[in-house]
Structure 1
Amino acid sequence: MPDEMVSVREVFNLDSDLKVAAFREADEHVPEVDPAYRFNHDVTLAILAAFTRNRRMLLQGLHGTGKSTHIEQVAARLNWPCVRVNLDGHISRLDLVGRDTVVLKDGKQITEFQEGIVPWAIQRPVALILDEYDAGRPDVMFVIQRLLERDGKLTLLDQNRVLDVHPGFRLFATANTVGLGNLNGMYHGVQRLNHAQIDRWNIVAALNHPPAEDEIGIVLARVPELDDAAGRKLVASMVSVAKLTRDGFRVGDLSTLMSPRTVITWAENIGIFGDAGKAFQLSFVNKCDEAEQPLIAEYFQRCFDRELEAPRTSGYLPAEPHPAAAFAVAAG
């Protein structure tokens, strides 16, 4: 179990007098600390409450806002072991619980039960993060439903065993929706979740786009070569473009939007291509519907006070038609 209490103010640089439980020593499953990471105040306090008070937490938000990374970076500073599992459509119940496999022992092949990630995690002081929680298959989702109870245990039917949960085990999940399905067309493949299961999560927090000043700080922390007067002005213009795409999406003018991840990618690509317009084209514009690209170019012009150059063609001239082809057309 955690063996020390640390100050939230000192460790996370947040305006709070809280002290939270942590481990003195890190093991191989503790994520690496990112010293440049910026913490969201309210979400961080919610995550810390989940770690300290053993609450099951669901973190919801739009893509690219760093939901899983946020949990990982809190765990890294608490030296809390952390494992992520992506609930894509190929993850089955057997992958989570375990299955019988053929192994070689003493030169003979025998059948042996191999535990899945869930039995392994619940018996250890580990924070298990279920990524893309709303994309999981229904049979997979019901595997973890019992774990969401206050005294949740896991029953292995194949082994006739009931596993007690380690007091240091913590359960988190991240999702783009709150179990309502693909309402706006952005998240194909997500499922409508059982409300009885959603109701079992003790804490549900939202992590969406940060304020402009915070987003500028996040981008500069990721791309420190832009952290000068000219670079800060450039990044401020980039964040303004991103905000316009989000406003356009909100009112139905655009079918996609720029996430903070996209802004960071744009800033990194500026270092590669040396031009904000070219990097913008390759980082975001080419992902958008062709009919919406003039509006996105207008957003760029508003924030950068210059036109977004159209991409150049290949430069190859079309080949001259073969004389036989011309003759065939005339004869026809």
Structure 2
Amino acid sequence: MTHIAVDSPDQTVSVRDTFGLDVDLEVPAFSHRDGLVPEIDPAYRFNREVTLALLAGFSGNRRVMLQGLHGTGKSTHIEQVAARLNWPCLRVNLDGHISRMDLVGRDAIVLQEGKQITEFQEGIVPWALRRPVALIFDEYDAGRPDVMFVIQRLLERDGRFTLLDQNRVIQAHAWFRLFATANTVGLGNVNGMYHGTQVLNHAQLDRWNIIATLNYLPQQDEVDIVVAQVPQLDDERGRDQVGAMVELANLTRQGFAAGDLSSLMSPRTVITWAENSRLFGDVGLAFRLSFLNRCDEIERTIVAEYYERCFGEELAEASDWSEAT
């Protein structure tokens, strides 16, 4: 495992200067970086409410869950806060392959002085718990029940973690921090968008100190983010193009909310579309390859109408779809 350079924060930083928020706060931070600290994205834009919630997690040892629709940058937001605090960060995706043994540990056969012996190999949780690490559980609402009850122990106020196989109790490091991201608030796959998500135990949800929401941004903020990621579009013409892209994305989100569409464009999809438009030199082709081809065939006519409304031109092949339907 990676060595942690410093055992505890050794400085404070200004929230105003570090995150660009109009708040007079100082938060603890590390002066040195190690291999677990995420890289800083200088173009990243911080959401005020979410940033303050995450900073409460880092500075006040609050357990913070970040909930929101896909592609809104929930995990990235946590990482970018950690990056500016030089806080070591470990992300674990709770997909169906993560087991209780992965989190807790298991007995393994190892060679020692030429002999095979059985030795306990600690899992992710005990390793992180004893260090000043921000442990992030991604796709928290997709975790298996046996895994979720392991995590429930970490949410207790005293933070103690019992290794039953070793008859040991681990006391959490004073600067260990716990975060999670989820697409739902424990309600499961109610709208068909998030297959594999589970209905969460509400007693466990109640143990999270803060639940913040990160959804889609105002249009101009989203335009700024896309342009920051694709700087070749940072001129008047490029910004107009990105503005039309974000406007179309908002129409798909409204269409989804109204039940007209079964899929929507996330900010991640808009960035991919902008990148592909530079690659192909054709906004319409890039749109088809980035989003339209994943839509249900009977819905493509609606999406093509959105495109025409935003760009003032008909999307190629749209007339063929109209005749087919």
Question: TM (normalized to structure 2)?
Answer: 0.95
User: SS of the residue aligned with 1:280?
Assistant: helix
Deviation digits for residues 158-192 of structure 1 (CA, Å, limit 9, x no counterpart): 10000000001000000000000001000000000
**Cα distance in 2, alignment partners of residues 48 and 214 from structure 1:** 22
Aligned to 1:253: 260
2:201 to 184, 194, 215: 194
Is 2:211 the partner of 1:208?
no
**Cα distance in 2, alignment partners of residues 133 and 176 from structure 1:** 8
**Cα distance in 2, alignment partners of residues 189 and 205 from structure 1:** 22
Following superposition of structure 1 onto structure 2, how do residues 289-308 of structure 1 map, counting pairs within 5 Å? 289-308=296-315
Deviation digits for residues 26-48 of structure 1 (CA, Å, limit 9, x no counterpart): 11111111111111111011100
Find the structure with the greater CA-based Rg: 1
Aligned to 1:219: 226
**Cα distance in 2, alignment partners of residues 146 and 110 from structure 1:** 30
**Cα distance in 2, alignment partners of residues 226 and 79 from structure 1:** 31
Is 2:25 the partner of 1:18?
yes
Question: How far has the Cα of 1:15 moved from its partner?
Answer: 1.1
Unaligned runs of 5+ in 1: 314-332
User: SS of the residue aligned with 1:48?
Assistant: helix
Question: How far has the Cα of 1:94 moved from its partner?
Answer: 0.3
Is 2:76 the partner of 1:69?
yes
Aligned to 1:130: 137
Is 2:273 the partner of 1:266?
yes
Aligned to 2:4: none
Following superposition of structure 1 onto structure 2, how do residues 69-148 of structure 1 map, counting pairs within 5 Å? 69-148=76-155
User: SS of the residue aligned with 2:165?
Assistant: coil
User: SS of the residue aligned with 1:205?
Assistant: strand
**Cα distance in 2, alignment partners of residues 162 and 264 from structure 1:** 46
Aligned-residue CA RMSD (Å) = 1.2
Deviation digits for residues 23-71 of structure 1 (CA, Å, limit 9, x no counterpart): 1111111111111111111101110011000000000000000000000
Unaligned runs of 5+ in 2: 1-7, 321-325
Q: What amino acid maps onto 1:167 in structure 2?
A: A
**Cα distance in 1, alignment partners of residues 317 and 104 from structure 2:** 52
Deviation digits for residues 250-288 of structure 1 (CA, Å, limit 9, x no counterpart): 010000100000000000000111011000000000010
Question: How far has the Cα of 1:146 moved from its partner?
Answer: 1.4
Q: What amino acid maps onto 2:289 in structure 1?
A: L
Is 2:62 the partner of 1:55?
yes
Identity %: 72
**Cα distance in 2, alignment partners of residues 72 and 141 from structure 1:** 22
Aligned to 2:239: 232
Is 2:190 the partner of 1:177?
no
